[in-house]
Structure 1
Amino acid sequence: MSWIGGKKALRELIVTLFPLYYERYIEVFGGGGWILFHKFPGNDFEVYNDFNGLLVNLYRCVREKPEELMDALRYVLNSRADFELVRNALARDSPASDVQRAAWFYQLIRYSYASGLTSYGSQPHDMRSNFPLIEQAHRRLAKVVVENKDFERLIGQYDRPVSFFYCDPPYFETESYYKNVGEDGFTEKDHIRLRDALMRAQGKFLLSYNDCGFIRDLYDAPGIQIDSYTRINNIKQRYDNGAQFPEILIANYDMQERMRDGPMQLNLFGEGGFLE
């Protein structure tokens, strides 16, 4: 599912940098779930969390009520007026079942321009084409705990020496983009609060960020590894084809240990990931 800040482009790399051993996988800022759906499910205890209640409700309905959700998605948004009607219903918190709210929200994601939820994309889309993906996601989420908590509380609740936290927070100085997807503002204090929560953790963590001096200084500490990467900048492609976006991955363990010491492990669907 397309989502602001989604990790589709980096999912293969990120999974190869997971620690060699852990028993608990906690995705702190779940978003579109690209990493969770790409990783091999294994036997570890898994948690998906996001502070966006609409997003969490959607995933809970996918997990628990997929047939009802697909029935609710048969209504097609044929015009900008339909799109605005659904958008306003969610904005006003109109009375509706959890399934209906999930369907509205998923429709806004699919029909909006660049999945930003704010403007009608004007592209025809048959929601029935997504039903196989919903069914696959339903099976994948069957044993996943789906949470809707503040990151600090979540980390404190699930922290153990065998825990592994993957964090993909709103990037520094791009936080305003997330206000369009139903999330409260993520402030500089929140970036610091996240750093403090991770530094207190007994478990391991891997953190995605944009490459900037503030974040590098924030995690400049003994035992912390910072690696640089680049990916295609999707926002600039229309006027600067091939533009790159610099990113960093931050961890409190050796990110190369799996590639260096671990056996190669194929997932159920080959190199393309568990869920496409």
Structure 2
Amino acid sequence: MSWIGGKKALRELIVALFPPYYERYIEVFGGGGWVLFHKPPANDFEVYNDFNSLLTNLYRCVREKPQELTEALRFVLNSREDFELVRSTLARDSTASDVQRAAWFYQLIRYSYASGLTSYGSQPHDIRSNFPLIEQAHRRLAKVVIENKDCVHLIRQYDRPVSFFYCDPPYFETEGYYKNIGEDGFCRKDHVRLRDTLMRIEGKFLLSYNDCDFIRELYDTPGVMIEAFTRINNIKQRYDNGAQFPEILIANYDMWERGREAPMQINLFELPGSENF
């Protein structure tokens, strides 16, 4: 599902840098779930969390009521008038069912510009084409715990020596794109709160951020590893094709350990004595 700050472009790299061993996987800022849905399903204890209650309600309905949700989406109109009506109704109607709110919210995600939820995207799309994806997500989420908590409270609740937290918070000084996450948004003090909490955990964490001086200084701590990467800047593609966005990954463990422990593929004809075969 398209989402502001989604990790579609970096998901393979991120999963490849997971620690070799953990028993609890906790996605603290779940968003569109790109990393959760990309990581191999396992018997691990998995948690999806997001502070946006509309988003977590959508995922709960996908997990528990997929048929009701698709039925509510069956006659959705892709039009500016319907988009504005749904947007205003979702904002003021607190009596609608969980499935109806999930359907409205999903409609806004699919039909808004860059999934920003605020303006109509004017792109042709039949929402019914997403029904197979909803069914696949329903099966993948079957054993996933879905939470709607503040990031610090969630981390403290699930922290164990065998816990692994993947954190993808709103990027520093781009928080304005996340207008729906709360009345005050995610501000400088929240970035500091998150850092202070992660520095005290028993488990491991992997954190993705935009590459800037403030975040680098915040995590300039012994025992913390920082690696720089770039990805395509999706927001700028319409007017600056190929624009790159600098990002960093931050961890309290060796991010390359999994790669070093992976078994090497050896060509039979490169083995000593293979000339005798």
TM-score, normalised via structure 2 length: 0.93
Q: Percent identity?
A: 83
Whole-Å Cα distance in 1 between the matches of residues 177 and 104 of structure 2? 20
Give 2:136's aligned residue: 136
Matched with 1:3 is: 3
CA drift at 1:113: 1.1
1:183 corresponds to 2:182: yes
Q: What are the superposed Cα offsets for residues 87-113 of structure 1, whole Å, 9 maximum, x if unpaired?
A: 001111342000000000000000111
Structure 1 residue 78 displacement after superposition:
3.6
CA contact (8 A) 1:25 1:164 kept: yes
Distance 2:240 2:124 in 1: 27
Q: 1:233, 1:243 within 8 Å by CA — same for their partners in 2? A: yes
Q: Which residue of 2 aligns with 1:72?
A: 72
C-alpha separation between the residues in 2 aligned to 1:262 and 1:15?
14
Q: Which amino acid aligns with 2:74?
A: R
Q: In the alignment, which residue of structure 2 is the partner of 1:254?
A: 254
Aligned residue pairs, count: 263
Amino acid corresponding to residue 249 of structure 1 in structure 2: L
TM superposition outliers: structure 1 runs of 4+ over 3 Å: 181-184
Shift of 1:123: 2.1
Partner in structure 1 of residue 222 of structure 2: 222
How is 1:73-222 mapped onto 2 (pairs within 5 angstroms)? 73-179=73-179, 181-184=180-183, 185-222=185-222
Corresponding residue number in structure 1 for 2:243: 243
Deviation at 1:76, TM superposition (A): 2.0
CA distance in 2, matches of 1:51, 1:30: 9
Residue ranges of structure 1 left out of the alignment (5+ in a row): 265-276
Contact 1:20 1:262 (C-alpha < 8 Å) held by counterparts: no
The answer (yes or no) to whether the contact 2:6–2:32 under 8 Å persists in 1 is yes
Query: Helix, strand or coil: the match of 1:200?
Result: coil
Q: TM-score, normalised by structure 1?
A: 0.93
- Matched residue, 2:43: 43
Matched residues in 2 for 1:225 and 1:127: separation? 42
Q: Distance in 2 between the 1:50 and 1:30 partners?
A: 5
Provide the rounded CA distance (Å) in 2 between the counterparts of 1:98 and 1:210. 34
Match of 2:274?
A: none
Indicate the SS of the match to 1:173. coil
Query: Is residue 86 of structure 2 the alignment partner of residue 54 of structure 1?
Result: no
Deviates more, 1:223-232 or 1:113-122: 113-122
Moved more, 63-72 or 238-247: 238-247
**Structure 2 CA distance, aligned partners of 1:59 and 1:108?**
15
Q: Does the CA-based 8 Å contact 2:78-2:111 persist in structure 1?
A: no
On the 8 A contact 1:80/1:122 being kept in 2, the answer is yes
Separation in structure 1 between the aligned mates of residue 19 and residue 245 of structure 2, nearest angstrom: 25
Which residue identity is paired with 2:9?
A
* Larger Cα-atom Rg: 2
AA paired with 1:221?
T
Contact 2:50 2:148 in 1 (8 A): yes
Structure 1 CA distance for aligned equivalents of residues 240 and 96 of structure 2? 43
Query: 1:182 Cα deviation (Å)?
Result: 4.4
1:167–1:182 distance in 2 versus 1, CA, 3 Å: closer
What is the CA distance between 1:124 and its match in structure 2?
A: 2.8
Judging changes above 3 Å, is the alpha-carbon distance between structure 1 residues 163 and 131 closer, same or farther for their aligned structure 2 residues? same
| Contact preservation (8 Å) 1:90, 1:101 | yes
Q: Secondary structure at the match of 2:250?
A: strand
Decide whether the 8 Å contact of 1:170 with 1:178 is kept in 2.
yes
Distance 1:182 1:246 in 2: 24
Gaps of 5+ in 2: 265-277
